[in-house]
Amino acid sequence: TAPQKFCYTNAETPKWHDIWTRMQIRVVSNKMIRVTQVENEEKLRELEEFNMWNFVFSFFKEKLNDTYIPVDLYSEKTCLKVELPESNTNYSVVLLRWFDPKLCLVSFLGLLLFFSGDLLSRSQLFHYSAGISIGMLASLLILIYVMAKVMPKKSPIYFILVGGWSFSLYLIQLVFRNLQEICKSYWQYLLGYMLLVGFASFAVCYRYGPLENQRNINLLTWSLQVLGLLLMYLGIQIRPIALALIAIAVCTKNLEYPVQWLCATYRKVQKATAKPSPPRLLTEEEYRLQGEVETRRALEELRGYCSSPEFSAWTVVSRIQSPKRFADFVGGASHLTPNEVSVHEQEYSLGGLFVEDQLFEEDEDDSFEGEGRADFSVSRNHLGVE
């Protein structure tokens, strides 16, 4: 019931299962009170001494009946001072320690931003959604920035703008603290603000369009990745685990480049040391089909060239023996006469002269090998008898 100073000494060492554990000191009262947080007892004693800055800042300190003071898991001591502007004020100081799912969500959001930054920077949906969100959250800051661009240089308005930035940040913090109460009591104004500012932000994003310059896309990608790493660090309360996960994420993201280089080097070494495999020989049927296809294709190419403007017809006609046969060939007739086809069939078909000569040569070779083997066996028998 009286103004008091409190100090909390953290005797527990953070364990690995405290990765998403949050600690807070909650001060609850029936009337408005003023709570000041300091790092240690020395700073607490300095608050009791008169200081012009402390006197000025005391007017800006917010008076609340429900105050939350975050406590770091690695902090050795956290001190606070409770002031009671009104009489008959009762308050309680409670230490809270619990698993916070918001920290888990922040960590996974940072992981998603880090690994999907290159895709999000090229996404139109992300462009419009991020633009509208930034416009609704920081519309007052954007308005002050536009005013700074419009105002002439060396103007006293800049002092007002600097104060405006601080006031805007204070307003944003105040809105987030009382967001639940605003949604309950002033939801009409909140809905109108979201519709108006959201439409204006969408119009600005539509006017300038998504990023097209590759350097701007790279800058946005790197910014999203750095923001993702920062969210991972802030979401994980155990600092060694946070740094280890950040290192693993960075190595995993860039692991594809060394792996690709190693695979390419391995393929080159394997190709240089491997013996060349002998080419596969064609079968007789494949040889015949390939000859027909290639001959037909070459004849079509020749006809096309003879019909082109680049072909000098008079020069060729003056040199060949049968101009009419050449003209018929260019017109689509066969390149062989019936007499040439019959001669080819007599010589190379089954029962032709060429095939018979080949067969006779094979029979002679077989008979020569048989006689050689017979002479060799006779000589062996003769030597055995002696």
Identify the DSSP state of 24: E
Q: Where are the domains of the chain?
A: 4-99, 105-237, 239-271, 284-362
SS3 282: coil
Q: Which of 190, 84, 78 is nearest to 137 (CA)?
A: 190
Per-position b or e across 346-371, b if 16+ CB within 10 A of its CB: eeeeeeeeeeeeeeeeeeeeeeeeee
Q: How many beta carbons lie within 10 A of that of residue 101, not counting itself?
A: 9
Which tokens hold the place of 263? 């695979």
SS3 373: helix
Query: What per-residue confidence (pLDDT) applies to 43?
Result: 67
Query: What per-residue confidence (pLDDT) applies to 59?
Result: 47
Query: What per-residue confidence (pLDDT) applies to 271?
Result: 78
Q: Which of 11, 4, 209, 205 is nearest to 92 (CA)?
A: 4
Q: What is the pLDDT along the chain (386 residues), one digit of tens a residue?
A: 888 888 888 888 888 888 999 898 988 888 888 888 777 777 666 655 545 455 444 544 555 677 888 888 888 888 888 888 888 888 999 998 889 899 999 999 999 999 888 889 888 888 899 888 888 877 766 666 666 666 555 555 555 555 555 666 666 667 776 777 778 888 888 888 889 888 988 998 888 888 888 898 999 999 999 999 999 999 998 889 999 999 988 888 877 667 777 888 888 888 777 777 777 888 888 888 888 899 889 988 888 888 888 888 778 777 887 778 888 888 888 777 778 777 777 776 655 555 455 555 555 555 444 444 444 343 433 333 33
Query: What per-residue confidence (pLDDT) applies to 374?
Result: 41
